[in-house]
Amino acid sequence: MKNITILITTFILFIGTINAQKQTELYNKLDQLSKQYNFNFKELKTSKFFKEKYLLSVPQLINPKDSSKGFFTQRIFLSHLDFDSAVVFVTEGYAATYASYPNYVNELSPILNANQIVVEYRFFASSTPDSALFHWTYLTIENAAADHHHIIEILKNIYKNKWVNTGISKGGQTSIYHRYLYPNDVAVTVAYVAPLNFSMEEKRVYRHLGKVGTAEEREAILDYQTEMLKNKAKYIPEFEKLAKEKHQTYSMGIEKGYELTVLEYSFAFWQWGTTNFKDIPEAEVGAIKMIKHLDNVASIDWISEQGIKQMQPFFYQAITQFGMYGYDITPFKEWTSYKQNPTFEFTAPKGETVKYNNSLHIKIDNWVRHYAKNMIFITGEYDPWGSTSVELSLDNNCIKFTKPKGSHRTRISNLPEPMREEAISLLKEWMK
C-alpha cells in the first residue's frame, strides 16, 4: 500500500511537472489571445535555436469584405526565441508543411536573432475552405494580404519589436503585395527571387533565355529540345510509358503534353541551375535516357492533370493576377503541333472563366520604384524569374542584389561575400 501511494504521488508530481512546463509565459499569452480571437494552438517540437514552437489554427474570412461567405482555418507556425526580439514573418506562397519540422529555421532568424512566424498561403494544403464554401474568386492578392494583416494584428499583442516580412518565389511576391497593401505591418521586406509580371506571356523571359549563360550552353539546350521535337515520334512512346508509371495524364493529350514539357526544358534548366550543360544527353544514349533526363530537369508532371491539380491555386493566380510566361516556338515551328506560342490558360479550374488583370501589378511597380522604403530584393542572374523582377529607381531606399550566375535557389547565405555583408548590414540597420 505504501508503494502504491508513493507511485501515485510520483505520478501526480510528474503530471504537474509536465503541466508546469507547458504553462510558459508564451503559452499563457497564446491561451489568452486564443479566447479573444477564437483560434486553436498546440505545442510542437523545435530545434535548439528556438525555445518554443506552436501550431496556430486561425479562422480567416474567406471574403474579408463579407463575413457571410464563411471562414477557413489558416495554418501558422510560431517559433519563439524571446519576447523582446524582432520577428521574421514568412509569407509562404504555397503549403507550409516544411515549417512543422523541428529543425526548420529561416535564414533571417539567426541573422537577426529573431522569432519566426510562417504562414501557409490560403487555399493550400490544410488552409483551405470546406468544399461547400470554396470558390476560386476569393483567391486573390488582396485577400491573402488581409490574412497576413489579421495574423500580425493578433501576434503584435505578444511581439512589440520590429517585424520583417519575407518569402521565396511566389512567397516573395506575397511579401511585396502584403507590404504594399499594409505598409505599417512590418518595418522591412526581404523578397527572394520574386517576379513582378505584367502579362500572361512575359516576353522578357524570351529575351532572357536568348542571352543567358554562354553561347555553347544555349546551343546545347537548343540542340536537345530540337532533337526531342524533331524526332518526337521516337520519344513519345517512352514519355507515355513513364507517365503511366507515374500515374500522370494530360488534358491536352499526350503529344501536346510531351511538347509542352520539352518547351519547359530551357526555362527549368536555368531556373534551378542544377544541370551542367555538358551532361545534356544526345540521341545516341537512346530514348529511355533522353526521357529520363527530360523528367529530371523539366518534370513530366509539371503540366499533367495531377501536377496542375496539386498546384491549382498557383496556376489560378498566375492566370488571373500574378502573370506568367509562355513558350516561344519560333525555333520549333516545323515540328510542334502548336501554331502559336502556348500560354497557361489551360490550367484554369474546370468550369471557371478566368481573365488576367495586371492593374494591381502596375500600381505596385510604381510604388516600388518611387515610394517603397527598406526593401531588399534577392535575385539570380541566370534565373528566368529574375528577368521579370522589380526595377528600382535611384532615389528610393530599396536595393536589389543579383547573384552572378545565380539560380532560383539564390539566398543571402550564398551571395558573394561583399553582397552578403552589405545585405546583412542593411537588414540589421533597418531593423534597429
Show the domains of the chain with their CATH numbers. Answer: 25-198+361-430 (3.40.50.1820), 210-347 (no CATH)
Residues of the chain with pLDDT > 70, as a percent, come to 95
| Predicted local confidence at residue 280, as pLDDT | 98
| Predicted local confidence at residue 22, as pLDDT | 60
| Predicted local confidence at residue 396, as pLDDT | 81
Query: Containing H/E element for 389?
Result: none
Q: Over the stretch 265-317, which tens digit does the pLDDT of each residue have?
A: 999 999 999 999 999 999 999 999 999 999 999 999 999 999 999 999 999 99
Q: Over the stretch 342-381, which tens digit does the pLDDT of each residue have?
A: 999 999 999 999 999 999 999 999 999 999 999 999 999 9
Q: Tell me the three state secondary structure of residue 388.
A: helix
Count of Cβ atoms closer than 10 Å to residue 266 Cβ: 23
Is 326 a residue whose pLDDT tops 60?
Answer: yes
Q: Compute the distance between CA of residue 92 and CA of residue 37 in angstroms, rounded to an integer.
A: 22
Question: Which DSSP state fits 231?
Answer: T
Query: pLDDT-derived band of residue 17, with 50, 70 and 90 as boundaries?
Result: very low
Contact assessment for residue 95 and residue 65, using Cβ atoms and an 8 Å cutoff: no
Whole-angstrom CA distances from 167 to 15, 140, 220, 240 are 40, 17, 33, 36
Is 18 a residue whose pLDDT tops 80?
Answer: no
β-sheet bridge partners, residue 317: none
Q: Over the stretch 377-414, which tens digit does the pLDDT of each residue have?
A: 999 999 999 999 999 988 789 999 999 999 999 999 99
Is 127 a residue whose pLDDT tops 50?
Answer: yes
Contacts of 322 (CB under 8 A, 6+ apart): 141, 170, 173, 197
- Scan for cell 549563360, then name that residue: 213
| Predicted local confidence at residue 429, as pLDDT | 98
Is 20 a residue whose pLDDT tops 50?
Answer: no
- Residue 336 sits at the vertex; the CA angle it makes with 334 and 337, to the nearest 5 degrees, is 115
